[in-house]
Amino acid sequence: MSELAQSALKAKNNLLAMLGAHIILDAMLVAIAKDIWAIGRILTLS
């Protein structure tokens, strides 16, 4: 695998990890706020 392909794979994995962390954090904040209608923020991300 070339160096460029490895770099692209690492960048893709980092972006997926950041997206997952954002969704989890947002879901926790919605749960803490007990605002069920705020779940739309998470659903519109997908």
Sequence spans of domains, the chain? 20-46
Is the pLDDT score of 40 beyond 90?
no
Contact by Cβ (8 Å): 23, 45? yes
Question: For the segment 19-32, what is each residue's pLDDT rounded down to a tens digit?
Answer: 999 888 888 887 88
Amino acid at 28: M
- Rounded to 10 degrees, the C-alpha dihedral 41/29/19/14 comes to 160
Tell me, yes or no, if the pTM score tops 0.85. no
pLDDT at position 42 is 63
